Amino acid sequence: MTRVGVVGLGAMGGPMAGHALSAGLTVCVHNRTREREEPFAARGATRAASPAEAAIGADIVLTCVSDVPDLREVVLGEGGIIETIQAGAVLVDCSTVSPTIEREIDAALRRRGASLLDCPVSGGPEGAQRGTLTVFVGGEESDVAKARPLLEAIGGTIAHMGPVGAGQAAKAVNQIFLAGAYAGLGEALVFAQKAGLPMERLIEALQGGAADSWVIRNRSSNIVRGAFEPGFRLWMHLKDIRIALTEAETLGVPMPVTALFAELEQRCVEAGYGNDDVSAYARVPRGEV
């Protein structure tokens, strides 16, 4: 029986733990705010008082936290996973962080006979709930095989991208593309509104041609209504894009449009729109930022 320790029960990690339970895996959960563990305990999970406790005896440990300091703390900090993870176990990290920190964590785990798969996901909280996430995986093939029962429970597409760090690089590719797509969407649809075009008919026509895209199909209505409930929070996309920009500098890839989009997202955050959906970038062409 595959035993899974889950650390972090937020908008992403929570549904993932639920899918692990539904798939019949033996699950132990830990969350900094402990009450969040309760609904999972009610479904048969055991509760752990610390990340270290969640990792005891686990074949797979799943982490899904929102930034590098949190990740360092739950893995390498006091009461962290590193203290108890067993030899041969795999840490599946679904956080979106830099390839560099993942390599550092993998090196630390290897000193204990364990190892890492960096598994950032795309698809947002809806995808997490539906179990249809795309999981970009970096790490060794043998570790992917070990983690597969969990990966298939949480994701619709499991895309192995190469060695440790390659999952994060692939996720960065996704976020870079989306920077352009959301910029295009926001500027195009605000232009359309100001030009007085019939939005519904226009959006339908755009979908018939080269502008067809997930963002047009799923995020146009935010801009038309002027309401930007997430979806995927703008500040989190900005965080991801900053990781990508740092990595791009290392790789020697100039990304002028992505860099500009990050600046504009920063202005949106400063104006108080960080917790809105990324499509709230439309406030820039609207002159509201």
Give the residue numbers marked as catalytic.
171
Query: Minimum Å distance from CB 181 to a second copy?
Result: 5
Q: Is 110 in the site for a second copy (CB under 8 A)?
A: no
* Minimum distance, C-beta of residue 172 to a second copy, in the bound complex (Å): 7
Q: Of 40 and 281, which CB lies nearer to a second copy in the complex structure?
A: 281
- How far is residue 48's CA from residue 18's CA, in Å, rounded to a whole number? 16
> Residues 26 to 45: which contact a second copy by CB under 8 A?
none
Cβ distance 157 to 96 under 8 Å?
no
Which positions from 208 through 237 interact with a second copy, judged by CB under 8 A?
Answer: 208-216, 218, 232
Phi, psi angle pair for 245, to nearest 5°: -65, -40
Question: Cα–Cα distance between 166 and 160 in angstroms, integer?
Answer: 8
C-alpha distances in Å from residue 147, one per residue of 93, 96, 189, 215: 11, 18, 42, 31
Choice from 60, 85, 89, 255 touching a second copy (CB under 8 A):
255
Complex with a second copy: residue 59 or 247, whichever CB lies closer: 247
Which region, judged by CB under 8 A, interacts with a second copy, from 16-24, 71-79, 106-114, 187-195?
Answer: 187-195
Strands 60-63 and 90-93: parallel
Query: Is residue 166 a contact point for a second copy (CB under 8 A)?
Result: yes
- DSSP structural state of residue 1: -
Q: How far is the CB of 258 from a second copy (least distance, A)?
A: 5
